[in-house]
Amino acid sequence: MFNNKSILITGGTGSFGNEFVSSLIKNYKKIKKLIIFSRDELKQQEMSKKFSEEKYKFLRYFLGDIRDKNRLMSALNGVDFVVHAAALKQVPKAEYNPFEYIKTNILGAQNLIEGCIEKKITKVIALSTDKAAAPINLYGATKLCSDKLFIAANNIIGSSGTKFSVVRYGNVLGSRGSLIDVLKKNKNSNFFQITDYEMSRFNITLKESVNHVLWSFKNSPGGDILVPKLKSYMVIDLIKSFNPKLKLKKIGIRPGEKIYEEMVTKSDSLNTIELKNYYVILPNTFSDNKILKTRSYYKSKFNAKNVKRGFSYNSANNKDFLSLKELKKFFK
């Protein structure tokens, strides 16, 4: 799919970006150009040591910010596919720096959408988060707005033919700032702070997150939110699997934090269908004809079925949980 094509990834120097670039290098030998667009020159320098432009002639490190539309437009020249991974995402920080999150997560998304339509990009996949489902914090609210923008963009593509889709998943285990990362950095400590003993999360690895995005590129018709079926884990179990002797101190949930991750809400159930490995939230901003067309596509190609009215998908009501034995594997 990506051979002889040009791909741009915004926020490309993050954990997802590194894994995405690694996957494309491994699986596609004839990439025309792979542009890593990010605003952090230090991360670009560090990433270039791992993936050098000298070794991989198709790689381009492009310094820029999605807030800067002119710079973004320059980066989009000649691009066929875009992965949108750029975002401000620390939940507590958003509560105290709301305008900055709006500028990046919402206005930055608008810049990218307008740029992709103007440049006639073939397909755009935007990364979302569980925080965008029934948001209770500002970060989640900005990502919900971003999701809505990307889905609604399919209504204004005109003659460009650009398709926009969203992939939504939870926290990535092992990524920078994840709980595993924090535990490893505090491996010599005798106690650990936990916000709530009932807290649960979905489990997804970096490799899996990349595979879901690649699946969406190949299969999503545009205007849909793809939600992968994942296993859940209790946060307290993850901590115990790392060190069962750690003394825990409950400190209460942080500003804007949820007890469980939610990816499909009850309100979404009327527009959600189920595939073997995914739930798909269909667009509720399209005409009835477009919704029926998208629904029919998934039903005919993947035998999709409607979920029950009032259905929700969250890490607490999930039927599939990781055991302590399974969780221990993440620390090896």
Greatest alpha-carbon pair distance for the chain in Å reads: 62
Under 8 Å between Cβ of 151 and 166: yes
Hunting for tokens 């915004």 — which residue is that? 10
Q: What is the 3-state secondary structure (H, E, C) of 119-188?
A: CCCCEEEEEEEHHHCCCCCHHHHHHHHHHHHHHHHHHCCCCCCCEEEEEEECCECCCCCCHHHHHHHCCC
325 is catalytic: no
| 321, β-bridge pairs | 232
One-letter identity of residue 91: V
Catalytic residue among 131, 143, 148, 163: 131
DSSP state of 84: E
d(CA 128, CA 146): 8
Which residues, 6+ apart, have CB-to-CB distance to 7 below 8 Å? 24, 31, 33, 34, 35, 79, 80, 81, 82, 83
Burial string for 281-295 (b: 16+ CB within 10 Å, else e) reads bbbeebeeebbeebb
Q: Is the dihedral of CA 194, 245, 176, 279 positive or negative?
A: negative
Under 8 Å between Cβ of 127 and 105: no
Under 8 Å between Cβ of 214 and 208: no
Write out the DSSP string of 284-312. SSS-HHHHHHHHHHHHHHH--EEPPTT--
Distance (Å) of CA 167 to CA 25, 38, 90, 124 = 22, 20, 19, 11
DSSP state of 93: H
| 185, β-bridge pairs | none
Active site residues: 131
